[in-house]
């Protein structure tokens, strides 16, 4: 296999999130480099409904599937994650433990609801896997599941426009159009029945979800036909985030470099049974990530070869083109930050950028200070040479005035030169200027005493 999908358990059956696995996944698959060019697909549905099998066939993943010989017992526990192979843009596939689990018994409902909220909060496309013969049946397992999905959506404080892709398994002889009609009716009915907060009373289902319905022949009894249709369905996941694509209507895509932290925070909030305020969470993730990016950028600056060379250069002598060089080092630093932080919330990103600029200027400051030292000693030397010439020609008359004009000249020269090497208002030469002035005054005083 050219690519490795490397499925891993993201959340255990006991609800513990595997942070190390998640960070490792983001790193090894290069997910974090993807900007917003990736989609998350989760699957939900009754236990032993062929969910893991479908994901594996669609995405060439290696989620654990039930061994047909073992009978229908629970296979997937908790929540699993893998990279879809050979699909662009990147797809994160999430396999969720089956709902209505016999093994979990009464306590299962909590995990089921929690995983529904998680899937809705994180996925752009949620596949609802259900048996074809369950359509229209009042007591089928999909009703509580759909209720859980809709209720979960209402808890997110956000119209995300998630795609709900209903995949009807073991397609019967009933014409697809009839199944579709019956299911759409059911969905609308369940949506109408669930209690909604005032803000969403009367909001149509279509504002929250893009609904798609498809059916598959039986994997067990019509394997060839199943394969053809699954291949066709797989094609729909290519360019899924482009307009018209399966997830083409999604809103507020969040940058992949914050994915791991975001998933962790979402799960933590769900476990603590707190409100999952997605907009607020996005600010939190943006703050965390922009801070991290700024720190990484700053540490890269400290060991940047061009910067180290300039710093060394300027210690020994006045560097030519100092301002141009140091300005380009600062600009490179800021543009590295911009590139990585680009998709995070603008206000957060801009605030952090300002902080980064201040800190970068602090890192670069010693080179400026060294430049000022060179300029100061040059100005003093210049003054001394002029002074000596004047002292030689000195007569009492006009001496004072002539010296004062030399002082002024040397000070102006320093002022202009120091301005020419500064790249920021906070890089200020006034202290150096005062020092220079007092050095000049001392020199002047000594010279005057010699003459008078």
CA distance 18 to 254: 21
Decide which of Mg ion, ligand GTP, none touches 50; Cβ closer than 5 to 8 Å per partner kind: ligand GTP
Two structure tokens written together for 129? 């896997």
Contact (CB, 8 A) for 239 and 89:
yes
Question: Token match 């600029």: residue?
Answer: 357
* Binding of ligand GTP by 169 (CB under 6 A): yes
Question: Residue 81: helix, strand or coil by DSSP?
Answer: strand
Interacting residue with ligand GTP among 48, 61, 333, 406 (CB under 6 A)? 48
Q: Binding ligand GTP by CB under 6 A: which of 75, 115, 163, 269?
A: 75
The answer to whether residues 349 and 286 touch, using CB atoms and an 8 Å cutoff, is yes
Nearest to 386 by CA among 416, 415, 408: 408
Report in angstroms how near the CB of residue 51 gets to Mg ion at its nearest.
5
Stretch that binds ligand GTP, among 27-35, 69-77, 280-288, 386-394 (CB under 6 A): 69-77
> If binding means CB under 6 A, how many residues of this protein chain bind ligand GTP?
19
Among 34, 51, 433, 444, binds ligand GTP (CB under 6 A): 51
Rounded Cα–Cα distance for residues 283 and 277 (Å) = 10
Among 9, 50, 127, 141, binds ligand GTP (CB under 6 A): 50
> CA–CA separation, 32 vs 38, rounded Å?
10
**98-117 binders of ligand GTP (CB under 6 A):** 98
| 433 contacts ligand GTP (rule: CB under 6 A) | no
Contact residues: Mg ion, CB under 5 A: 51-52, 75-76
Q: Which is nearer to ligand GTP, 27 or 102 (CB)?
A: 102
Contact between 329 and 364 (Cβ < 8 Å): yes
Binding mask 203-242 for ligand GTP (x = CB under 6 A): ---------------xxx----------------------
C-beta closer to ligand GTP: residue 53 or 257: 53
Length of the chain measured in residues: 452
* Residue 68 interacting with ligand GTP (CB under 6 A): yes
Strand ranges of the sheet holding 79-83, from the earlier edge strand across to the other edge: 8-11, 79-83, 90-96, 38-44, 125-131, 162-169, 209-215
Strands 125-131 and 209-215: unpaired
Give the Cα separation of 69 and 433 in Å (integer): 88
Q: Rank residues 129 and 265 by Cβ distance to Mg ion and give the closer one.
A: 129
Give me the residues that bind ligand GTP (CB under 6 A), please: 47-53, 65-66, 68, 74-76, 98, 169-170, 218-220
């Amino acid at each position: 296999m050219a690519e490795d999908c490397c499925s891993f358990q993201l959340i255990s059956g006991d609800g513990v999130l595997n942070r190390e696995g998640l960070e490792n996944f983001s790193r090894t698959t290069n997910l974090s480099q993807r900007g917003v060019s990736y989609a998350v697909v989760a699957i939900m549905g009754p236990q032993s409904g062929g969910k893991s099998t479908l994901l594996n066939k669609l995405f060439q993943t290696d989620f654990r599937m039930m061994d047909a010989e073992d009978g229908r017992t629970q296979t997937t526990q908790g929540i699993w994650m893998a990279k879809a192979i050979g699909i662009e843009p990147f797809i994160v596939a999430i396999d969720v433990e089956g709902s209505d689990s016999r093994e979990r018994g009464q306590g299962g409902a909590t995990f089921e609801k929690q995983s529904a909220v998680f899937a809705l909060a994180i996925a752009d496309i949620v596949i609802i896997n259900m048996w074809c013969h369950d359509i229209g049946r009042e007591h089928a397992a999909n009703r509580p599941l759909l209720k859980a999905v809709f209720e979960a959506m209402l808890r997110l404080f956000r119209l995300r426009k998630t795609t709900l892709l209903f995949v009807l398994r073991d397609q019967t002889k009933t014409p697809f159009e009839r199944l579709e009609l019956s299911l759409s009716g059911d969905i609308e009915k369940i949506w109408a029945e669930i209690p909604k907060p005032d803000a969403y009373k009367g909001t149509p289902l279509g504002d929250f979800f893009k609904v798609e319905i498809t059916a598959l022949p039986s994997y067990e009894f019509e394997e060839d036909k199943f394969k053809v249709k699954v291949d066709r369905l797989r094609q729909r996941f290519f360019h899924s985030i482009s307009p018209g694509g399966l997830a083409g209507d999604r809103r507020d895509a969040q940058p992949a470099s914050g994915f791991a932290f975001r998933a962790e925070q979402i799960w933590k909030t769900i476990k603590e049974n707190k409100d999952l305020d997605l907009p607020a969470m996005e600010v939190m993730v943006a703050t965390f990530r922009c801070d991290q990016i700024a720190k990484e950028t700053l540490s890269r600056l400290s060991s940047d070869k061009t910067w180290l060379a300039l710093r060394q250069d300027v210690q020994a002598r006045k560097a030519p083109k100092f301002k141009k060089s140091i300005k380009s080092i600062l600009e490179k630093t800021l543009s590295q930050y911009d590139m990585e932080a680009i998709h995070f919330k603008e206000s957060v990103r801009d605030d952090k950028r300002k902080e980064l600029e201040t800190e970068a200027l602090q890192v670069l400051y010693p080179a400026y200070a060294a430049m000022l030292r060179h300029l100061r000693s040059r100005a003093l030397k210049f003054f001394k040479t002029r002074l000596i010439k004047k002292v030689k020609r000195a007569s009492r008359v006009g001496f004072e005035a002539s010296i004062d004009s030399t002082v002024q000249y040397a000070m102006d020269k320093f002022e202009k030169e120091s301005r020419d090497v500064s790249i920021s208002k906070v890089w200020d030469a006034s202290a150096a200027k005062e020092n220079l002035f007092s050095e000049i005054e001392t020199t002047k005083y000594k010279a005057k005493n010699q003459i008078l």
